[in-house]
Each structure stands twice: as structure tokens, then as C-alpha cells.
A and B are shown apart, each in its own frame.
Chain A
Amino acid sequence: MLLSLIFRNAFRHKLRTLLTVVGLTVAVLAFGLLSTVVEAWYAGAEGASNARLVVRNAISLVFPLPLTYRQKIRQIEGVRGITTANWFGGIYKEPKNFFPQFAVEASSYLDLYPEYLLSEAERKDFQRDRKGAIVGEKLAATYGFKVGDTVTLKGTIYPGQWEFVIRGIYNGRDAKTDVSQMLFHWDYLNETMKIRIPRRANQIGVYVVEVADPSRVAEISRIIDNEFKNSNAETLSETEKAFQLGFVSMTEAIVVAIRLVSYLVIFIILAVMANTMAMTVRERTAEYATLKALGFGPRFVLLLIYGESLAIAALGGALGIALTFPVAVAFGNAMGTLFKVFAVSGATVALQAACALAVGFISALVPAYRAARVNIVAGLRSIG
């Protein structure tokens, strides 16, 4: 009977409760979506390996490294594998169609990235064709790329029109793997540059180094950087994770702003819900006084009010969480390849649930306290 009383009270003013539930649903949904955006921001770093080092020019990523460093790095004790990658920055049809493109050393790159899953036949086709490229499944789905398609990019860093033939579509080993990239032959880039702008040939954007023993990454990164100290192009070696987080930190202010907004949304709905509960309790003062007159203690009154508040919060929270999944899918699709991974995590769902329940609990605090302490004689005189 107590539960029945709580639920009937919760839906006594159907419109008011409905509006509060809708508000909570929207707030929890917005919170979940914004949290997912923040997580997506860090997704690249989350999926990065601690056993891989990225070696770049110490001055800036904008400056390349000489091709000759490859052999020197490979010979360092503890280095198991090495490959190269150059950021291409081409435009596909229109500038808004952004996706990452890398010119990579085709013979070794996939060996260092086992998380990119490609069939053996596609791998061979890619490696055989100097104009060949492979694309992640998300990128292929976004632009409808199929194996055999010719894709033309307009170079920005490397001027001119560049044609590629899709030779494979790779999948990710897990949800954290970036499947929104395009990889093509560095040889194609280099040979073309030799003809178009010879002084920019034989240059490497970054070396990716696989360390045999992950516990030695710090030591090996120091050895690499020492090797090229006082050269024309000093290096800065860091783990792939640190390298990715370096990019994220450039946009830290945006991430902080998104986080703030997400909590602000919850705070606003807390104020709305607290107002709803305050109105509700004020209207029912005579009922709580009656219950107390009949012999029910303050704890029973607290239970009724908290129960009602938590029931409304749980309903709004559950709807908000349920809606987060389809909305996140639609949002992720709308964002195309902007986010490498866009999926609602368990931690986000747990935070949404915690926020909804916190709203239910905090909003009832003051009204419940007042109702529990209501003076029976004064309460019986009050008119709701």
C-alpha cells in the first residue's frame, strides 16, 4: 500500500509530473550525449598503445624528419619494429568532408598496427599497388567507398590532385580502434614530390617505433632523442598515448566547457525538480499533518516524499538513458568521421543514473525535512 501510495501521489498532477519527467529525460539525455562527446575526444588516446613510440621533430610536428633516421633508430637495441607516417591533409570533394589520411610505409605499417584487421588478399593488393589505399570501415560507410573505387584528394600540404584506388577496407580489433582513417603508400607521395617539389622529398612526418619490452619505452625514447641531439633535426619521442593526449590538450578548454555544460544541465533540472517537490509538498501539508495526527511518524512522511521524488527521477533517468543510445548513434552518424569512436560507455550510463538519483534525492531534501517537522495543528489548518 505504501508503494501504491507513492506512485499514485507521483502521478496525481499528471501534467506537472509529465513535464518534470520530460525535463529530466532531456537533461539526462543531454548529459549522456555530452559525456559521450568528451569520451570520444579522448578515444584516440584511449586506443593508443603504450608499447609504441612516436618520434617527431622536436621543434614541431610541422617540421619533418630525414629519411636517414630510419636505419639509425632501427639499430637501437630494444627496438623491435619501425614504420613511418606522414599527415597528408587532403580534401575529399569539399573541406567539410574531413577524415585523417596518412602516407605510410606500406610494407611495415600494418605489422605495427595489428588492431587494423584486413584480409590477407586485401593486404597483398594494397602492398602491390603503389596507388593503392586502405580505408577504415566507418570511413567507407560514411562516403560509400568500395574496394576498387578511385578516390581523388586535393592536396593542401602536398599540392596537386592525388588519385588513389581503394584496395581494402579494414575493421577494428575492438571498439577503441580508429576505423575512420585512410592509409596509402608513402612511396607514391615521395615519388610524386620528387617530381613536383624535389626539396620536399625523402621526408618523414613521424617514425612509429615498436619497443620489444613496453617497460623500457621511457629508456628507449631517451636513447633515440640522445642519438639525434645537436643534429639539424632533433627528435622528441613519446608514447603513442602521450602523443595523442598532446592533441587533446590543445583543445582542453573545449572539453572543460562541454563538461561544465553537462553538469549545468543537471543543475538546472535539479532546480526545476526541487521547485516541483516544494510545490507538491506545500499543497499536501494538510495530508501530512493528518497522517501525523493518525500516529504516523516523521519517517513515514519522509519516506512518502523521498519515494515520490525518487520515482519521478528514476522514470526520467531511465527514459533519458534509454534514449541516449539511439540518439548517440544518430549523432555519431551525423558527425561523420569527426569522432574516431562514438559510443555510449558503461561509465556514462552509470553517471547518468547517479545524476538522476542525485536530482531525486537532493530536490526532496528541504521539502521532506519541512513536511516531516510540520506542526500538526498548523498543518491541519493549511489549505493546499
Chain B
Amino acid sequence: MSEPLISLHNIVKSYRRGQQTVPVLSGVTFDIAAGEFLALMGPSGSGKSTLLNLIAGIDRPDSGQLIVAGEDIGRLPEAALADWRARHVGFIFQFYNLLPVLSALENVELPLLLKDMPRRERRERAELALSMVGLSDRLDHAPSELSGGQQQRVAIARALITDPTLIVADEPTGDLDRESANDVLRLMQRLNDEIGKTIIMVTHDSRAAGHAHAIMHLEKGELSGREEVGK
């Protein structure tokens, strides 16, 4: 059996709220294989977003081992972790998080500034990524000139542009109407099916979760079960 892409072992995470320590994850252990499309579900406060943040390397566990793409990211220094994120993780946020002063093309091009790449090549790649999400005719549009669904598709193109090892999506359809949500989910499914991208998605929406291969349920900071989605 091949090595899992993501391996969590006894992950513990808590937050301080004033004088109090609030436990969020209590000894979570599981693996995710490369090429999986996994949905994380659970009630508010169950720790699903925290788990996603830990896997994406934007937060650190209190204890436990977290190996992603062969790297124990819980032990990486800050600068190395930033570099690791740039190489391995594509982000899709609930509210798109595009820079409002940049055009769709420039937003997609942005992560490539971290690569040693000529401007023309950056442009070509960004145009290609936008064409993959069906926005070739919206290259010069500012985010404010795009609908929510279109903005999320720009965000997906931005997540794809560096060809990351995995894509993390935190409530990617939470701010969209049903039709736009379906478009975005179908697009994510295509990325998984056609390019083989590993995707981890946090969602409250069981219909959204239905687009994944498997659903991981969390409750009070612990895994309560894994459910394979029948196709």
C-alpha cells in the first residue's frame, strides 16, 4: 500500500479564550490518500475548520504528528512553512478572498510572484487557469464586477495556478446560491477526476458533501465516523 498524502497522528489543538483553555481537537488520527476528495462535516465548533487549517499549514497543533506531502509541517519554522504552503497548498475560501484592486487575471497570477517566472509565462498560465474555470472572457474584470460564483471560480483558478499537491476549501459554497454552488462543486469534482487533485473541503451542506468521495464526520473534536459516498 502506498504512503498516504496526509497523515495525522494524535493531533491535539486547543485555544485560549481569556483565562480559559478551550479544547478543539482531542487526539485526532487518520490518513488521507493522494487523489482523494474528502468532505469534513460536523456541527459548529466540532473542529472541522481547525483541522483543515492544520492540514493547510496555517495553524499548528499543540501536540501530535502532522505529515503532509512527506513533511512534518508541525515542526517547520515559520518561513519554511510559508514556502511549503506556496508549493503544496491551494486555498479556496468561503468569501473568495480575492484582492479587490487586482483584476481576475492578476489575482490568479498573484501566487506565481513567489516563483522565479517571467511575466509573460505568468500571464499565459493565469489565462490558461481562467479558461479551465470558464472565465476566459472575464480576464480584466475586477472582483466587484463578477458574480459570487464567478469570483469563486477565479479563486479556484488561483488555487490551481501553482499546481499544488492538495487543495483545501473552507465552505466554498457557503456564500453562493444553489446554481452557482453546483457549478463550483462540479468544477472541483472535475479537478479531482481529471487532474487528480487531492481536495479537502469543509462544509455544512450535505448536498455539497455529496460531491466528495468520502465524508469525515467530526463531533466535539473527535472523529465520529467516515462515510464513503456512493457514485
User: Which residues of A line the B interface, CB within 8 A?
Assistant: 1-2, 4-5, 8-9, 12, 286-287, 290, 292-297, 376-377, 380
Contacts and interface: CB of A to CB of B under 8 A. Distances in A.
A296 B111 CA distance: 8
B101 A8 contact: yes
B110 interface: yes
Given A377-B58, A377-B59, A294 B85 contact: yes
A296 B114 contact: yes
Given A290-B93, A290-B97, A294-B110, A5 B85 contact: no
Given A293-B56, A297-B79, A5 B99 contact: yes
B86 interface: yes
Interface of B: 53, 56, 58-59, 79, 82-83, 85-87, 91, 93, 97, 99-102, 106, 109-111, 113-114, 119, 158
A380 B93 CA distance: 9
A1 B86 contact: no
A295 B101 contact: no
Contacts of A292: 58, 82
* Majority secondary structure, A binding face: helix
A293 B58 contact: yes
* Majority secondary structure, B binding face: helix
B101 A12 contact: yes
A376 B59 contact: yes
B91 A287 contact: no
B91 A293 contact: yes
Contacts of B101: 5, 8-9, 12
Determine which residue in A5, A8, A294 has the highest number of CB atoms from chain B within 10 A of its CB, and name it.
A294
Given A290-B91, A295-B111, 20 more contacts: A1-B110, A1-B119, A5-B101, A5-B102, A9-B101, A287-B99, A290-B97, A290-B99, A292-B58, A293-B58, A293-B91, A294-B85, A294-B114, A294-B158, A295-B85, A295-B86, A295-B87, A296-B82, A296-B114, A376-B58
A178 B209 CA distance: 87
B207 to A, nearest CB: 25
A103 B109 CA distance: 79
Nearest to B95: A286
B112 to A, nearest CB: 10
Contacts of A286: 97
A296 B79 CA distance: 9
Given A293-B85, A376-B58, A1 B97 contact: no
11 contacts: A1-B119, A4-B106, A5-B101, A290-B91, A290-B97, A290-B99, A293-B58, A294-B86, A294-B111, A377-B59, A380-B93
A8 B102 contact: yes
B97 A287 contact: yes
Nearest to B170: A380
B79 to A, nearest CB: 6
A124 to B, nearest CB: 73
